[in-house]
Each structure stands twice: as structure tokens, then as C-alpha cells.
Structure 1
Amino acid sequence: MAAAQLMADLLADRSVAVVHEWFSAVGGSENVFLAIADLVPHASRHVLWAEPDADPTGLRQTWLARTPLRRSKALALPVMPLVWRTAGRPAPDVVISSSHAFAHTVKFGDPARTRHLSYVHTPARYLWSPDFDGRGANPLLGLPRAALRRVDRWGGRHVHAYAANSVEVRDRIRRFWRRDAVVVNPPVDVEFFGAGPDGARDYLLGVGRWIPYKRFDLMIDVAEQAGMPLVLAGSGPAEAQLRRRAGSAVRFEVRPSRARLRELYAGAAALLFPAHEDFGIVPVEAQAAGTPVVGLARGGLLETVVHGETGMLADSTDPRVLAGLLAEVPRLDRARIRAQAARFSHARFAERMTRWVDDAVG
């Protein structure tokens, strides 16, 4: 029996709510939320609000969606715990939250009757790791940060079981919330990204949202050091700055389709990923296409990339060091790279989620 059906059968006689933060059209955490919800087809789906470019079909939005606060996550953060404590009526038997801010504090019923499970992408970077992600440096968060940390830790006391998307995040949960968690890596559509034919493998590739902590500026420097063309695929607020920095050997692919992204992965000599990520779905997608990863020996890459076998990692942001790793890429076996990606398939995710939920709900 498919693991997805096992989860549906496990919770068939229970009412279930699946919860997420704000819902954007594109994003790794949103895709995980939808994957969790798909495992429990009868579950209701709750979000704080859906962004204008997202499809809100089937999503129950909170009253926060009807206020101006939806336009500023920094201003909305302090009221999110209150929203999650007043949004669930009637109380379901099981709540599964997908959390990267305050969704783990959701309380849709008395914990004596409702089992609250939380899948954590990361404890809120805005609160706990402001230096890790520059967006957390917003001056509006400076004064309330200490108070919000207490609310964040206290607000999750009723959670019966935590799952973390990586070892990195499990360690943060232990450090910040003083709770343990099971590691359940996110699902990646490795079948789709592995189905494209190999391309010329004659350029470097960077994929993701164009924001500072993703380090697309460093990718440009690495490609220049290596003397190789670079393709940057994605979109984001740093686009104008990156275009000013880029030379003629850099090509921008804005909002590529999934099919086009698969072509880009299959044609790249290597994916550049010099960011410290919680998990990092993009490197797994690249490996599914047989493309090695060159990046930092930090965070999620330590779980998804095998140094010297499926990519090359260095604990350095010196573009000369990272460019030097590219000399080792041609010897890597593409079949081995694809096999590594298969460890993070949707089927594996469904199996691990079912096991975790089974243990947690009894």
C-alpha cells in the first residue's frame, strides 16, 4: 500500500486541520504544506492569509487577511500567536502545523482532546537568528524581539510532537525551544527533475529567490573567478542590484516554468549554492538532474550533498575557494548524484510523515 494511502487511512476516522503561515504562490515551505495536506485529503487547510499572486482555493484564511497587517509581516508578527489561538472552531481531533514563524503556537482545542503536531521549517529567523537572515534586522523588531521569543517558546508548550525538516533545524529547536524533534526531510519532485535529457553542461547555475542571504552576488563572483558563464534563475527584490553587478557572461531567467527549470538543471555543469540554508530543496532538484552542487559545508547541504561524491563543499565564502572546487566537478559520477537525490522523494517523505504521525497520535 502506498505510504500516502497509509496516512489517509491512519487519520480517516479523525477530524484534521493542517495549518501554515502566510501562503505565497511559490516557496519551499508552501510546497511542504500542500504535500502534508495531500496526505490527508479530508483535512481542512488554514493559513493566516494568501498573497495576491497565490491561489487561495480551498484555503481558510484568518481574520488577519482582512486587515492592512497582511502587507507587513514585521508588523503582523506580534499578533500572529493571538490569531492562531482564536482561529480554530470547532476543535479538530488532530492539528498538523507547518511552521516557520508562529504556526506551531496554533491551539485549535484542548490539548487533552486535540493532538497538536508541528512540522518546523525553522524557528522564526526574525526572532532567533536575525544575523542569519538580514530581513530580521528590521528595526521594528528590535524592541519586541525578547518578548516575542518568550511568547514563541511558551506558545508551543501544548505541542505533543515536533518534526524538523533537517538536523540543522532539529538542533535549533533543542537550543531555542528546549524540545526534541524527529527529522523528516521535505519532499522533492525528484522524478520530474530527473526526467529531462542531459544538456551541454557548459554553464554554472544559480536558482532561487533573489534576496541577499541567498548570496547570488557571491555566485556572480565565483563564476567570474572560474571564467564560466552563469545563469541566474528566479525572481526577487535584489534583481536590479544583481543586474548592475553582473557582467556580460551572466544571463537572467526570470520566473522560469518548471519545465524550463528542469532544462536549466540538466544543462548546467554545476549548481552554485553558497548560502547557509535550513534544508535547501534546490540542491536536491539539481542532483535529481545529475547536476553536482558546489556550495557551503553548512546547514542543509551537509545532509543533501555528499562531499566529493555528489558535489563539492567548502566552509568558506571566498569566491576563489569556491571557484577552485569546480575543477573537481567533472570527475563526479552523475548516476551517483541522481541516486543521492532519490533519498528525498515524495514517497520517502510520505513514509516518514506517516511514521511520525502514527507515533504522535497513538
Structure 2
Amino acid sequence: MKIALVQDGLMCRAGGEQVALSFHKAFPSAPIYTLCYQPELTFSEFETCEVHPSWLQHLVKTDDVMKKVFFPLGVWAMQSHDLTSYDVVLMSGTHCAKYVKTKSEALVISYSFTPFRLAWDPSSYAQYAEAKGIKRLLFDKVVNTLRTIDFKFAQRPNYYVAMTVETADRLRKAYSIRNDIDIINPPVNAGSFYVSTQPGDYFLVVSRLEYYKKVDLVIEVFNELGYPLVVVGKGLQANEIKSHARENITFKQGLSRAELADVYAGCRAFIFPQHEDYGITPLEANAAGKPVIAYNAGGVLATQLPVQDNPKKATAVFFDRQTVQSLKSAVLQFEQIEQEFNPYFIRKHAEQFDEPRFIEKIKSFVLDKYEEFRQRKLEN
């Protein structure tokens, strides 16, 4: 069985890149094909992998630029990858992994985080939501074109695997998928984090600084509360968010794994304000024994145990609306029960999603489907 791995891009340290690393650990001899790869921007473990970026690599040096030139350059560049010599192609991502060339008799499996957000949910991007007049008309033309391209290439995979029931439903609706979609939750590398016996006094956000991540909401709440807040991340909205932050808010970026583990271990609680497809960062906080203050929607419903009657058996406080008052109330509620959370229970909960379990599940899925696929070809 000759297998290739495909990932949208390797340009940052986020959940998609962690999944790609887990795929590599499941199939260590398989090469990785991607749109762009910058070793200094993503996990250092990729330096030991056989990585094949597209020709766009020569023009793009950051994740932000890669997103800006994706249409049309990224579309063309990803289609230049010729994987017709492989029996199995295992993809991960949302937008361009599915564009690579494969032979018709190959088994193609897509571990899809969600339908391509720009094509199917463009209003989640500030640039689109705030566009007006001719600019909005041009945006709509690009979005419609991307949706057509995305739908066409989304018909190629033989099997889809989703992160949650919610994202599986989105995939069925966007791509008219009639086959069953298996659910395999993405992993957290629990071994990279630890429980501290001397936590600090700050709350924590770890996120890309982009419109739909709602970090601006957290800034507004902590501007009012005056509590120490640490924000780790970068993104298209970084300058705007930083300009509104008061002196109690600190920004960090480019942290090593060890530095990030220390930041998690030192916080009081982790703030997660967005409706995320899944969200590995809340599980990273849990792996450090930290509770999460999260918006009551999306992936956290599959990974967190909200406070009900007993905080000792909970991992999170949920808030129901993405408003200043709702998040502020959740922070104040957390303060009242903060000492009742059990960091070792929270850590144990995170270990249910640990990377070795994910690797075992995805490897078994691929091998089982390949055997079924091979048997059907022999019978025909």
C-alpha cells in the first residue's frame, strides 16, 4: 500500500497542523504534500518529514499572505501536485487538500474539519462582512466561484471523516454526501502539558487573531473587569485588537512548546469565546488541569463537561450569548466556584483525547477501508 498525506498548509502551529503530525506518526514513511511550508512557522517535528510544498512556496512566506493569494494562485498551485502513483491518499484540512491529482482507482479519504469557510460561510470573515458596494459584488463573485470549485473537488473522496456530529452535518449539507461519515475527535498532545501547583493570577486566550475567533469580545470584557489577561496568537485582526486593549492585557506570539505549556499551567482559566468547529486549545488547557470558560456551541459540546451541580466533576463554565454581559457573567460565576474545580480530574478528562488514541483510530480506519476497497476491486 503506497500512501500519501495531504494537508492544506504548514504555516502555523494550530489544530490542523497537529492533525497532520498525528497522520505522520500513524504512517511515518508517507510523504506530506501541502500548499506552502515554512519550517520556522510551524511545528519543528515536520523538519524530519518528507514535505512537498507546491510552487506557491516560492512566493508566500507567511500564513496571512497565503490566505490573501489563495484565489486564484492557491487553487492552481495545489492542483499541480500529482499523486497518481499512490494507492491511498489521506487528506486533512478544509479548503485545498482535495485539489491534488489522484488516480481514479486510488482510495481517497478526507479528514475534513469543516466545509471551506470562505466558500460556505463567508460572513465569518471581517473582510467579507464589512465589504460594501462594488467590493461586496467582487467578493460575492469570488465566493461563488470558490464554492463551485470546492463542491466539484469535494466529490472525489471515497470516505469522509469528521471531527464532530455537527461538522459531519455541515459536510453532508455542503457537499451532498450520502455515505456515512465516521466521527473521530482530533487529538490533544496531553504529554506536552502539565499541572502546576503554583498557578498565576491571569486568564488566558490562545487563538489566531481573526474576526470569527471573537478575541475582540474577550478584550472588551477584560477592559471592563481589569483582570490580568494573556493573549497568545497572531492574525489579520492583531493590530486592531491590540489597539483596543488596556494595560492589564498582555500579548505574546511565537512561543515554543515549553513556553506555551508554562503559560497554560500558570493561568486561572482559559477563555474560549468562539463557535469553533472543534477546538483543540480547550483540551490543551484541560491537559494543564485548567477549566475553560467557553461559548456554549460547537466543538466544546463534544469535549467539555460543563458545570452543573458539582464543579469537582466539571471542566468548563459555559456562556450562552457572544455578548459582553454574557461572557462577563461567566467569568464572575467562575470566580465564585474557582477553588472547587479539581485540576487532576480535568487533566484525566483531557487524556481521553490524547494523541496515541487518535493515531490508533485513524490508522485502523485507513487500513480497514483499504482492505475493503481492495477486496471490492478483486471481486469486480
Q: Secondary structure at the match of 2:124?
A: coil
Alignment of 1:84-99 (within 5 A): 84-99=78-93
Of stretches 247-256 and 37-46 in structure 1, the one that deviates more from structure 2 is: 247-256
Percentage identity across paired residues of the two chains = 30
Residues 54-80 of structure 1 deviation map (CA, whole Å, 9 limit, x = unaligned): 477521122343467994534433465
Q: What does residue 284 of structure 2 align with?
A: 285
Q: Distance in 2 between matches of 1:354 and 1:90?
A: 22
**1-structure distance, mates of 2:200, 2:328:** 16
Indicate conservation of the 8 Å contact 1:107/1:116, yes or no: no
Matched, 1:28 2:22: no
Shift of 1:319: 2.0
Contact 1:197 1:266 in 2 (8 A): yes
Amino acid aligned to 2:87: D
1:93 deviation in Å?
0.9
1:141–1:59 distance in 2 versus 1, CA, 3 Å:
farther
In structure 2, C-alpha distance between the alignment counterparts of 1:260 and 1:147, rounded to whole Å: 42
> Any conservation in 2 of the 1:204–1:268 contact (CA below 8 Å)?
yes
Instruction: Indicate which of 67, 70, 75 corresponds to 1:76.
Output: 70
SS at the partner of 2:206?
A: strand
Determine if contact 2:287/2:351 at 8 Å carries over to the other structure: yes
**Aligned-residue offset at 1:270:** 0.9
Change (3 A) 1:89 1:340: closer
1:105, CA displacement in angstroms? Answer: 3.7
Corresponding residue for 2:212?
Answer: 213
* Counterpart in the other structure of 1:61: 53
Q: Are 1:118 and 2:120 counterparts?
A: no
- 1:160 paired to 2:154: no
Aligned-residue CA RMSD (Å): 2.5
Q: Tell me, what secondary structure is at the counterpart of 2:233?
A: strand
Find the residue that maps to 2:349 and give its secondary structure.
helix
Match for residue 4 of structure 1? Answer: none
Q: 1:332 and 2:341 equivalent?
A: yes
Q: Distance in 2 between matches of 1:203 and 1:269?
A: 6
Inter-CA distance 206–361: structure 2 relative to 1 (3 Å threshold): same
- Whole-angstrom distance in 2 between the partners of 1:87 and 1:173: 24
Partner of 1:320: 325
Query: How far, CA to CA, are the matches of 2:73 and 2:252 in structure 1?
Result: 37
Return the offset for 1:223. 2.5
Q: Count matched residues.
A: 346
Tell me if structure 1 keeps the 8 A contact 2:25–2:359.
no
Q: Aligned residue for 2:253?
A: 254
Amino acid at match of 1:47: T
Q: Among residues 165, 168, 181, which one is paired with 1:170 in the alignment? A: 168
Gaps of 5+ in 1: 1-13
1:18, 1:136 → 2: CA distance? Answer: 32
- Compute the TM-score of the two structures, normalised by the length of structure 2: 0.83
Q: Residue 223 of structure 2 contacts residue 245 of structure 2 at CA under 8 Å; is this kept in 1?
A: no
1:140-187: per-residue Cα shift (whole Å, max 9, x none)? 542032233222222122311111123332121011012242111212
Q: Equivalents in 2 of 1:310, 1:69: separation in Å?
A: 38
TM-score (norm 1): 0.87
Please tell me whether the aligned partners of residues 262 and 289 of structure 1 are also in contact (alpha carbons under 8 angstroms): yes
Q: Alpha carbons of 1:280 and 1:247: their partners in 2 closer, same or farther (altered >3 Å)?
A: same
Question: 45, 48, 53: which one pairs with 2:32?
Answer: 45
Gap runs ≥5 in structure 2:
308-313, 372-380
CA contact (8 A) 1:99 1:119 kept: yes
Specify the alignment match of 1:356 in structure 2: 365
Equivalent residue for 1:190?
A: 190
Which residue does 2:125 correspond to in 1? 133
Query: Secondary structure in 2 aligned to 1:232?
Result: strand
Q: Are the counterparts in 2 of residues 196 and 263 from structure 1 also a CA contact under 8 Å?
A: no
Q: Deviation per CA, 1:99-125, whole angstroms, max 9, x where unpaired? A: 210212433212x2x111111122110
CA contact (8 A) 2:124 2:211 kept: no
